[in-house]
């Protein structure tokens, strides 16, 4: 038998004892030696979640299917944490006459009982993963709801600051080079210029986006709709006040939102999200 050795760690797994990539590969190699299997190749994904298949080494392994007879992993959750993706992989392996073996779980696909128990274990692994996700979401939600009144200096939710801003020691602050451009964008729109005209003006002046690209109506709309410029960070439907310098007041921001909404042809899609202008 030719074995494809697969090892994976995600960020949260790296801190767990026994899940290091080297430890996984060494144990898989020793297992192959005991079973008398040849090692076709080693596939190692570092820093990738098992909840999806967007993993370079996993995809390379599946593309190399002709070169091996079975996949060998240390534990089932190393290959997948999603039962649907696991089932799809197993269907593909069966269609190609390939096998699967989870060393620590002592399951393989050569018996009906092994296939049944493996399916149950995979569903348990998915349940655990989803529960972790739910707990993480609840924690982030609680943080977002209390962030504005928190004494912490890092009053952000780990977001990427928009054009005109940057993070300094976890706190939102202005970017000296970009902030004047952001001010000009709001000023030009308030003066009556259309988004297309603003794009033309910025590109004619060789003023580029943060990534060095020309301006277009999509990235300009993102700026004009972003409440950060009026003093509020958005997390889902929550608005969290920040302490960085602002481009315009909430009242001015609301005027722009109403102006942009009035230009939407379909009345059903005219749903501007406005900021509260009352001090709470």
Are 249 and 223 a contacting pair, CB within 8 Å? no
DSSP string, the chain: -EEEEEEEE-TTGGGSTT--HHHHHHHHHHHHHHHT-EEEEEEEEES--TTSS--HHHHHHHHTGGG-SEEEESSGGGT-S-HHHHHHHHHHHHHTT-EEEETTTTEETTSHHHHHHHHHHHHHHHHHHHHHHHHHHHHHHHHHHHTTT---S--S-SPPPPTTEEEETTEEEE-TTTHHHHHHHHHHHHTT--HHHHHHHHHHTT---TTSPPP-HHHHHHHHT-GGGGTEEEETTEEEE--S--SS-HHHHHHHHHHHHHT-SSGGG----PPP-S--
Tell me if residue 102 is catalytic: no
Dihedrals phi, psi of 217, to nearest 5 degrees: -65, -25
Instruction: Say which of 10, 83, 102, 129 is annotated catalytic.
Output: 10
Are 50 and 89 a contacting pair, CB within 8 Å? no
Strands 70-73 and 38-46: unpaired
Q: What is the phi-psi region of residue 172: left when phi exceeds 0, alpha when psi lies from -120 to 50, beta otherwise?
A: beta
Are 159 and 143 a contacting pair, CB within 8 Å? no
Positions marked active-site = 10
């Amino acid at each position: 038998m030719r074995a494809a050795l697969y090892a994976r760690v995600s960020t949260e797994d790296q801190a767990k004892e026994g899940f290091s990539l080297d430890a996984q590969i060494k144990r898989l190699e020793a297992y192959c030696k005991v079973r008398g299997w040849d090692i076709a190749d080693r596939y190692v994904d570092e820093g990738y979640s098992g909840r999806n298949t967007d993993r370079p080494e996993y995809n390379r392994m599946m593309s190399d299917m002709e070169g091996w007879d079975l996949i060998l992993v240390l534990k089932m959750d190393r290959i997948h944490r999603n039962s649907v993706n696991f089932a799809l992989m197993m269907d593909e392996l069966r269609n190609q006459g390939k096998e699967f073996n989870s060393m620590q779980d002592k399951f393989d696909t050569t018996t009906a009982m092994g296939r049944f128990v493996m399916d149950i274990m995979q569903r348990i692994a998915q349940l655990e993963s989803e529960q972790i996700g739910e707990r993480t979401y609840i924690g982030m939600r609680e943080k977002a709801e209390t962030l504005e009144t928190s004494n912490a200096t890092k009053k952000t939710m780990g977001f990427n600051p928009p054009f005109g801003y940057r993070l300094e020691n976890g706190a939102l602050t202005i970017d000296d080079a970009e902030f004047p451009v952001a001010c000009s964008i709001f000023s030009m729109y308030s003066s009556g210029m259309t988004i297309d005209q603003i794009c033309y003006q910025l590109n004619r002046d060789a003023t580029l986006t943060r990534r060095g690209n020309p301006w277009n109506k999509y990235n300009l709309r993102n700026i004009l709709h972003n409440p950060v410029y009026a003093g509020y960070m958005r997390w889902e439907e929550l608005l969290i006040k920040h302490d960085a310098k602002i481009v315009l007041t909430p009242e001015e921001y609301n005027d722009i939102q109403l102006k942009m909404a009035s230009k939407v042809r379909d009345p059903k899609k005219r749903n501007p999200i406005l900021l509260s202008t009352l001090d709470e």
